[in-house]
Protein backbone atom coordinates (compact mmCIF):
# COMPACT_ATOMS: atom_id res chain seq x y z
CA UNK A 1 0.00 0.00 0.00
CA UNK A 2 2.82 2.43 -0.86
CA UNK A 3 2.23 6.14 -1.36
CA UNK A 4 1.20 7.38 -4.81
CA UNK A 5 3.81 9.27 -6.81
CA UNK A 6 2.71 12.71 -5.70
CA UNK A 7 0.76 13.33 -8.90
CA UNK A 8 -2.14 14.83 -6.99
CA UNK A 9 -1.54 17.84 -4.79
CA UNK A 10 -1.94 17.27 -1.08
CA UNK A 11 -5.57 17.71 -0.08
CA UNK A 12 -6.84 16.78 -3.53
CA UNK A 13 -7.55 13.15 -2.75
CA UNK A 14 -11.15 12.00 -3.10
CA UNK A 15 -13.28 11.86 0.01
CA UNK A 16 -16.80 10.77 0.85
CA UNK A 17 -18.79 12.33 3.67
CA UNK A 18 -22.38 11.96 4.88
CA UNK A 19 -24.30 15.01 6.03
CA UNK A 20 -27.53 16.03 7.70
CA UNK A 21 -28.79 19.61 7.85
CA UNK A 22 -31.17 20.78 10.58
CA UNK A 23 -33.41 23.84 10.66
CA UNK A 24 -35.98 25.15 8.21
CA UNK A 25 -34.68 23.17 5.25
CA UNK A 26 -37.76 21.53 3.74
CA UNK A 27 -40.14 23.29 1.36
CA UNK A 28 -37.51 25.94 0.61
CA UNK A 29 -35.89 24.35 -2.47
CA UNK A 30 -32.97 23.26 -0.31
CA UNK A 31 -32.38 20.07 -2.32
CA UNK A 32 -32.44 21.89 -5.65
CA UNK A 33 -29.95 24.50 -4.44
CA UNK A 34 -27.71 21.84 -2.89
CA UNK A 35 -27.68 19.95 -6.18
CA UNK A 36 -26.85 23.16 -8.07
CA UNK A 37 -24.01 24.03 -5.73
CA UNK A 38 -22.62 20.48 -5.82
CA UNK A 39 -22.66 20.49 -9.63
CA UNK A 40 -20.96 23.88 -9.70
CA UNK A 41 -18.19 22.42 -7.54
CA UNK A 42 -18.00 19.25 -9.63
CA UNK A 43 -19.10 16.98 -6.78
CA UNK A 44 -21.24 13.85 -6.87
CA UNK A 45 -23.60 12.29 -4.34
CA UNK A 46 -27.20 12.77 -3.36
CA UNK A 47 -29.61 14.75 -1.21
CA UNK A 48 -33.03 13.91 0.20
CA UNK A 49 -35.62 15.08 2.70
CA UNK A 50 -36.05 12.94 5.81
CA UNK A 51 -39.26 12.17 7.65
CA UNK A 52 -38.15 14.24 10.63
CA UNK A 53 -37.76 17.53 8.79
CA UNK A 54 -34.07 17.48 7.98
CA UNK A 55 -32.15 17.11 4.73
CA UNK A 56 -29.51 14.43 4.43
CA UNK A 57 -27.21 12.99 1.85
CA UNK A 58 -23.69 12.18 0.81
CA UNK A 59 -20.99 14.21 -0.93
CA UNK A 60 -18.02 12.79 -2.83
CA UNK A 61 -15.21 14.54 -4.65
CA UNK A 62 -11.82 16.22 -4.16
CA UNK A 63 -11.47 17.08 -0.48
CA UNK A 64 -10.99 20.82 -1.04
CA UNK A 65 -14.28 21.01 -2.99
CA UNK A 66 -16.08 18.83 -0.45
CA UNK A 67 -14.97 21.32 2.24
CA UNK A 68 -16.52 24.14 0.22
CA UNK A 69 -19.87 22.38 0.02
CA UNK A 70 -19.72 21.52 3.73
CA UNK A 71 -19.23 25.21 4.48
CA UNK A 72 -22.14 26.06 2.16
CA UNK A 73 -24.39 23.49 3.88
CA UNK A 74 -23.43 24.89 7.28
CA UNK A 75 -23.87 28.59 6.49
CA UNK A 76 -25.67 29.33 3.24
CA UNK A 77 -28.22 26.85 1.95
CA UNK A 78 -31.12 28.01 -0.18
CA UNK A 79 -32.26 31.64 0.06
CA UNK A 80 -35.33 30.88 2.21
CA UNK A 81 -33.78 28.21 4.38
CA UNK A 82 -32.73 28.80 7.97
CA UNK A 83 -30.00 26.38 8.95
CA UNK A 84 -29.62 25.67 12.64
CA UNK A 85 -26.77 23.22 12.18
CA UNK A 86 -25.16 20.75 9.82
CA UNK A 87 -23.65 17.47 10.98
CA UNK A 88 -21.07 15.50 9.03
CA UNK A 89 -20.21 11.87 9.62
CA UNK A 90 -18.46 8.83 8.21
CA UNK A 91 -15.82 10.82 6.34
CA UNK A 92 -13.38 8.60 4.49
CA UNK A 93 -10.90 8.65 1.66
CA UNK A 94 -12.11 6.82 -1.44
CA UNK A 95 -10.21 5.54 -4.47
CA UNK A 96 -12.95 6.40 -6.96
CA UNK A 97 -16.29 8.20 -7.01
CA UNK A 98 -19.24 5.92 -6.25
CA UNK A 99 -21.88 8.12 -7.92
CA UNK A 100 -22.14 9.40 -11.48
CA UNK A 101 -23.65 12.76 -10.61
CA UNK A 102 -25.45 14.60 -7.83
CA UNK A 103 -29.02 13.42 -7.52
CA UNK A 104 -32.10 14.51 -5.62
CA UNK A 105 -33.66 11.40 -4.09
CA UNK A 106 -37.35 11.25 -3.24
Has 31 been annotated as catalytic?
A: yes
DSSP alpha helices (H): ranges in the chain?
A: 30-41, 63-75
Q: Do 16 and 96 touch, CB atoms closer than 8 A?
A: no
Give residues with Cβ within 8 angstroms of 74, minimum separation 6: 83, 85, 86
For the chain, percent helix, then strand, then coil, each to nearest 5? Answer: 25, 40, 40
- Cα–chain center distance at 48: 11
Q: Find the catalytic residue in 49, 65, 67, 85.
A: 49
Has 49 been annotated as catalytic?
A: yes
- Residues with a catalytic annotation lie at 31, 49
Amino acid sequence: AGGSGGAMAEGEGLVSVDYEVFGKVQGVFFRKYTQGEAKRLGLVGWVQNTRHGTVQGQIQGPSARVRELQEWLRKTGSPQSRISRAEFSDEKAIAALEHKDFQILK
